[in-house]
Amino acid sequence: MEQLTTDVWVQRIDTGGFPTIAALALTPARAFVIDTLMCPQDMAPVLELLAARAGARRTVVVNTHHHWDHVYGNAAFPGVDIVAQSACPRLILQHSTTTDESVPLQPREGVPLPTITFGDRLTYSDEPETVHLIHTPGHSEDSLVVFLAGARLLFAGDTLEWPLPNFAQRDGKDVWIHTLRQLKQLPVDLIVPSHGPPMGRQIIDANERYINGVFEAVAAAKESGAGRNDLDLPPAAFLGDDVVLDEVYEDAHRGNLVWAWDEV
């Protein structure tokens, strides 16, 4: 695993073209495992590091939201608390019976549901560190971020994404923008999105600009008669000049345009 700070490591894998991370953050009394990737086997390096470094710490697994690339490895942690926002268990169950072909089948071991849930915020005081799990809807109804106040570090799940966010919560645009404004209030120096490199606070503004820009442009195009599948709105208009997209994110952008067209 890649060491990010003295107490934080990330495990990066490829999930269908998207680089995706799970993370381990040690506080004095706890070992937080953030997300479990695509299958229990993906978590082997995390389990190894836990065995080597966690000592007597209590393991807490956090699911940042119900999407398959964040929870399908839950079975790697039998008997361990799995914490999520209160909508997450229901959404995992819904996902398990979906006919959406973009959702892979669950792993053979199944996907154990979160055992501890919360509404708006759950705080672990673990002097000198305090860890806040904060509900941040927008990408999905159950999205949360993990804020390490002492380290000024934020695990963003898919609430923030680089080079661009993925629209996945129906009619979630306004609530997402509200979430992003809340995130700007947090005293954070380093942001670790589930997809994309660790970066500074500029990712919040960049995602806000993209979301607002896409919805405005799609509304204008629809107004002037553009159909759902003939939106000609290249991504460069909504991103910084230095941002280059690979094919996976070109596709994600096209998917976002269609998603927005259905809502404006």
The residues of the shown chain that bind Zn ion, judged by CB under 5 A, are 67, 158
Strand (E) or helix (H) holding 217: helix 202-223
154 vs 221 by CB, closer to Zn ion: 154
Please state the closest distance from residue 70 (CB atom) to Zn ion, in A: 6
Please state the closest distance from residue 41 (CB atom) to Zn ion, in A: 21
What residues are paired with 130 via a beta bridge?
Answer: 125
Cβ atoms 129, 209 nearer than 8 A: no
Please state the closest distance from residue 137 (CB atom) to Zn ion, in A: 12
129 vs 158 by CB, closer to Zn ion: 158
117 vs 143 by CB, closer to Zn ion: 143
Please state the closest distance from residue 124 (CB atom) to Zn ion, in A: 24
Q: What b/e string do you get for 146-182 counting C-beta neighbours within 10 Å, with b at 16 or more?
A: bbbbebebbbbbbbbbbbbbbbbbeebbeebbebbee
> Whole-angstrom Cα distance, residue 205 to residue 5?
24
> Whole-angstrom Cα distance, residue 247 to residue 264?
26
**Residue in the block written with tokens 């070992």:** 31
67 vs 253 by CB, closer to Zn ion: 67
| CA end-to-end distance (rounded Å), the chain | 42
22 vs 221 by CB, closer to Zn ion: 22
Please state the closest distance from residue 223 (CB atom) to Zn ion, in A: 30
Q: Which amino acid is at 61?
A: V
